[in-house]
Amino acid sequence: MGDLIVQSMSARYSTSVQTSRYRLTVRAKTGDLRIVAVWKVLGCEARHADHVRIRIDRRHHFEEMSVTFAAVPPDALIDMVGRLVKLPWVLDACFYP
């Protein structure tokens, strides 16, 4: 099912301008968010990150890291999301403009 979502997002954003700003969000259960692992997944695209937000939702018991990028192609973000959702501690990962 995850592959269908990634393919859908790929088709949706493949015609977008390649220099658009996007936000990548990763969510994990409280205490499970691995910041260094997220940065490793970002790879060479991490240099394009211009804003990072980490949020803890105690009510719903999750942590969330959002990274805003300037000038990252949607295909690179699709690859990142694909790698992130395979990690056992990740509840959810997505990107959007």
pTM score, whole prediction: 0.78
pLDDT digits (tens, 9 = 90+) for 78-92: 999 999 999 999 999
Domain ranges within the chain, ordered by starting residue = 2-96
From 69, 71, 62, 67, select the one nearest 92 (Cα to Cα).
62
pLDDT of residue 71: 85
pLDDT in tens, 22-55: 999 999 999 999 999 999 999 999 999 999 999 9
Percent of the chain beyond pLDDT 90? 73
CATH superfamily for domain 2-96: ACT domain (3.30.70.260)
Written as six digits, the tokens of 36 are 């260094």
The conformation of residue 87, written as its DSSP 8-state character, comes to S
Percent of the chain with pLDDT over 70: 80
Assign 38 to helix, strand or coil: helix
Work out the angle at residue 58's Cα, subtended by the Cα atoms of residues 57 and 59, and round it to the nearest 5 degrees. 90
